A and B are shown apart, each in its own frame.
Chain A
Amino acid sequence: MDIFLQQIINGLTLGSVYAVVALGYTMVYGIIQLINFAHGEVVMIGAMVAFSVITALAGTALPPVLIVLAGVLAAVPVCMLVGYAMERIAYRPLRGAPRLAPLITAIGISIILQHVALLVWSRNPLAFPQIIPLVSFDVGGAIITGVQIAIILTSVLMMVGLTLMVYRTKLGIAMRATSQNPQIAGLMGIDIDRIIAFTFIVGAALGAVAGVMVGTYYGVAHYTMGSLLGLKAFSAAVLGGIGNLAGAMLGGILLGIVEALGAGYIGDLTNNVFGSNYQDVFAFLVLIAVLVFRPSGLLGERVGDRA
C-alpha cells in the first residue's frame, strides 16, 4: 500500500470538511470582524440532529442515500435557526461594544450549546448505524471509499456554490460591500442587519452539512465533537487568511493534508516515540507557525482594513 497517496486521500477528505467549516468562521469574520467560537458547536448540533434522524430511519426500507439525505435535510434548518438565533440574541446587541465582549460571549454560547446538546442527547456518543455498504476503489495502491468520494464531492459543490453566490449574485456583492464598509452599504439601501443575519445562516447551513460529513466519516457524533473540530477549522481559516473565502478553502485542505501526512509519518520520524494519536497537534503547530511567521495568512492581506 502506498502510504503517501493514502494519507493524501485521507487528508483531502478531512481537509475538505475543515474547509467547509472554516468558511463559516471566515464569512462571519469578514463581515463583522467577530471570531464566532460557537461555530464548532453548530457543526456538532448538525451532526447530532442528523444522527438522530438517521438512526430513526435506519430500520426502514429506505435506501441509505435517502436516509442520509433526510438527516442532512433535518440538520440544515435546525443549524440555520441556531445560527440566526445566536446572531440576534447574543451578537447583535453587542455590535459596537469593545471587541472582547462578543468574543467572550461567543465562548459562552459555545458552552451553552454544548450543554443543551448534553441535555438532549446525553453524554453517550451516537453511533452511525451500519447502513452504508462499504464501497472502495483502488487508486494507484491506495484506497478511496465511497464515503470519502461523497464527502469530497459534496464539499467541492458547496464551495463552488458559495463562491458563485458571493461573487456572482447581487446578494453576494451586497455581502462584500457590507464587509468593506457597512455605513456606505446602508446608503445603498442595503439592510446590513439582514445581510449579517444571512451570513450567519449560510455559515451555519454549511456547518450542518460538514457536521454530517465528519460524523459519517468517523462513525460517531458526540456533544463535545465541535470544540476540536471548530478549533482546527478556525486554524485553517487563519492559515488561509481570516476573512478571505479562497483562503479558508485552501487553508482547510492544506491543514487536512498536513494533519494526515503528520499522522502517517510521525511514528517513523520520531522512532515511534509519538504515534498517530498525536495528529491533532499538527493543526495547532500550523496555527502557531502562521501566527508567528505570517499573521495575515497565506492569502490574507486586509486584516483590519476598513475604509
Chain B
Amino acid sequence: MNLLELTHLEVAYGGIKAVKGIDLGVPKGELVCLIGANGAGKTTTLKAIAGMLPVAPEAIRYNGAPIGGTRPFELVRRGLALVPEGRGVFGQLTVEENLAMGAYVRSDAAAVKADLARAYSLFPRLAERRSQSAGTLSGGEQQMLAIGRALMSRPKLLLLDEPSMGLAPLMVQKIFETILAVAKEGVTILLVEQNARLALEVSSRGYVMETGLITLSGPACDLLVDPKVRAAYLGEAD
C-alpha cells in the first residue's frame, strides 16, 4: 500500500506551472527517491506535499486521505515531516531548543526525552553542542540537526530535500548512513537528491523529474543501469 500517492499533481507559482501533473507513489516502509536537474520542480513537489503551497486536495493522498492544501502544522500532527532545502534550522535557538521544536506537537514528555537522547546518540556532535546556537554549527552539523529535529516528531513519512547539498564527501556518507538507519526503523522516506547515484543506491524505487514532469520511474536498480539515466544524471557517457 502506498503511504503517499500523488495523482496528477500540478503546482503553479502565480500562473506559471512548476509541476505539470505528476503521478508518484511511495509504498509504506520504503525509501523512494526523486532525482532531476536544477529547476525540475523537486523542491516544489516536496513543498506541496508538506502543505506549503496550494494544490488540489485530491492530488495528494496520505494514508488514503486527501491532504492537498492542508496546512503544514496539521500535517506534522499526522506524522508527515519535511527537512527543507537549505536545512532551515533556527539559527538563534540552541541545538537543544531546535530539537525541542521538532517535538512541538508531542505531549508525551518522557518519550520525548528518550527520543532526545536517541537523537544525541545518532549524532554525538549535536550532544557536544547542545547549548550552542544552531547558527554557529557547520553545514554538516546543521544538516544533522535538521534531520534530528524532524525525527523528534516521530514521523511516519519523512521528506528530505537535498540533504547532501554543499557537504564534504565524508559528511555526505555520514548523512546517508543515517538516512538508511532511519529507513530501517520503518520510517517511509521520500528523498530528493542531486546526487543521483547515491540516492538510487539507497532507494528501492526512483523517479526522474524534468521540467515539471516525471520522465522515468522504476526500481532503483533498473534506473542505475538505464542508459538515459547514466548519461544525464550519473555523468557517464556511453
Residues on B with C-beta less than 8 A from A180 are 90-93
- Judge whether A162 is part of the interface by a CB distance below 8 angstroms: no
The answer to whether B92 touches A176, judged by C-beta atoms less than 8 angstroms apart, is: yes
- Judge whether B81 is part of the interface by a CB distance below 8 angstroms: yes
Given A186-B71, A186-B73, answer yes or no on A170-B91 (Cβ-Cβ < 8 Å).
no
Within 8 A of A (CB), among B144-171: 149, 153
- Judge whether A185 is part of the interface by a CB distance below 8 angstroms: yes
The answer to whether A189 touches B88, judged by C-beta atoms less than 8 angstroms apart, is: no
User: CA separation between A251 and B102, bound complex, in Å?
Assistant: 34
The answer to whether B52 touches A185, judged by C-beta atoms less than 8 angstroms apart, is: no
User: CA separation between A219 and B153, bound complex, in Å?
Assistant: 53
What per-residue 1/0 map shows which CB atoms of B64-108 lie under 8 Å from chain A? 000000011100110001101000101111000100111011000
The answer to whether B88 touches A190, judged by C-beta atoms less than 8 angstroms apart, is: no
Contact of B91 among A187, A190, A307 (CB under 8 A): A307
- Judge whether A174 is part of the interface by a CB distance below 8 angstroms: yes
The answer to whether A184 touches B90, judged by C-beta atoms less than 8 angstroms apart, is: yes
What per-residue 1/0 map shows which CB atoms of A267-307 lie under 8 Å from chain B? 00000000000000000000000000000000000100001
- Shortest Cβ distance from residue A199 to the other chain B in the assembled complex, whole angstroms: 16
- Judge whether A173 is part of the interface by a CB distance below 8 angstroms: yes
The answer to whether B88 touches A187, judged by C-beta atoms less than 8 angstroms apart, is: yes
What per-residue 1/0 map shows which CB atoms of A171-186 lie under 8 Å from chain B? 0011011001101111
What per-residue 1/0 map shows which CB atoms of A197-220 lie under 8 Å from chain B? 000000000000000000000000
The residue on B at minimum CB distance from A172 is B97
Residues on A with C-beta less than 8 A from B52 are 183, 186-187
The answer to whether B93 touches A188, judged by C-beta atoms less than 8 angstroms apart, is: no
User: CA separation between A191 and B77, bound complex, in Å?
Assistant: 11
User: CA separation between A114 and B107, bound complex, in Å?
Assistant: 43
The answer to whether A173 touches B73, judged by C-beta atoms less than 8 angstroms apart, is: no
- Judge whether B175 is part of the interface by a CB distance below 8 angstroms: no
The answer to whether A177 touches B71, judged by C-beta atoms less than 8 angstroms apart, is: no
Residues on A with C-beta less than 8 A from B50 are 187
The residue on A at minimum CB distance from B152 is A188
Contact of B73 among A170, A176, A181, A191 (CB under 8 A): A191
The residue on A at minimum CB distance from B71 is A186
Residues on B with C-beta less than 8 A from A177 are 90, 93, 97, 101
User: CA separation between A189 and B104, bound complex, in Å?
Assistant: 6
Contacts between the two chains (Cβ within 8 Å), count: 65
User: CA separation between A188 and B155, bound complex, in Å?
Assistant: 11
Given A186-B72, A187-B76, A191-B73, answer yes or no on A170-B90 (Cβ-Cβ < 8 Å).
no
- Judge whether A192 is part of the interface by a CB distance below 8 angstroms: yes
User: CA separation between A307 and B77, bound complex, in Å?
Assistant: 24
User: CA separation between A79 and B51, bound complex, in Å?
Assistant: 34
Contact of B81 among A181, A187, A190, A192 (CB under 8 A): A187
- Shortest Cβ distance from residue B87 to the other chain A in the assembled complex, whole angstroms: 9
User: CA separation between A192 and B76, bound complex, in Å?
Assistant: 13
Contact of A189 among B90, B97, B105 (CB under 8 A): B105
The answer to whether B81 touches A176, judged by C-beta atoms less than 8 angstroms apart, is: no
Residues on A with C-beta less than 8 A from B104 are 170, 174, 188-190
Residues on B with C-beta less than 8 A from A174 are 101, 104
Within 8 A of A (CB), among B7-54: 50-52
- Shortest Cβ distance from residue A92 to the other chain B in the assembled complex, whole angstroms: 14
- Shortest Cβ distance from residue B145 to the other chain A in the assembled complex, whole angstroms: 12
User: CA separation between A190 and B81, bound complex, in Å?
Assistant: 12
Residue among A170, A187, A192 with max Cβ neighbours from chain B (10 Å): A187
Binding site for A on B (CB under 8 A): 50-52, 71-73, 76-77, 81-82, 84, 88, 90-93, 97, 100-102, 104-105, 149, 153
Binding site for B on A (CB under 8 A): 170, 173-174, 176-177, 180-181, 183-192, 302, 307
Q: Top 6 A-B pairs ranked by shortest CB distance? A: A189-B76, A189-B105, A186-B72, A184-B88, A188-B101, A188-B104
Q: Kindly list 19 other residue pairs between chains A and B, CB separation below 8 angstroms, not including A180-B92, A188-B73.
A: A173-B93, A173-B100, A174-B101, A176-B90, A176-B93, A177-B97, A183-B88, A186-B51, A186-B72, A187-B50, A187-B72, A187-B88, A188-B104, A188-B153, A189-B104, A189-B153, A190-B101, A302-B92, A307-B88
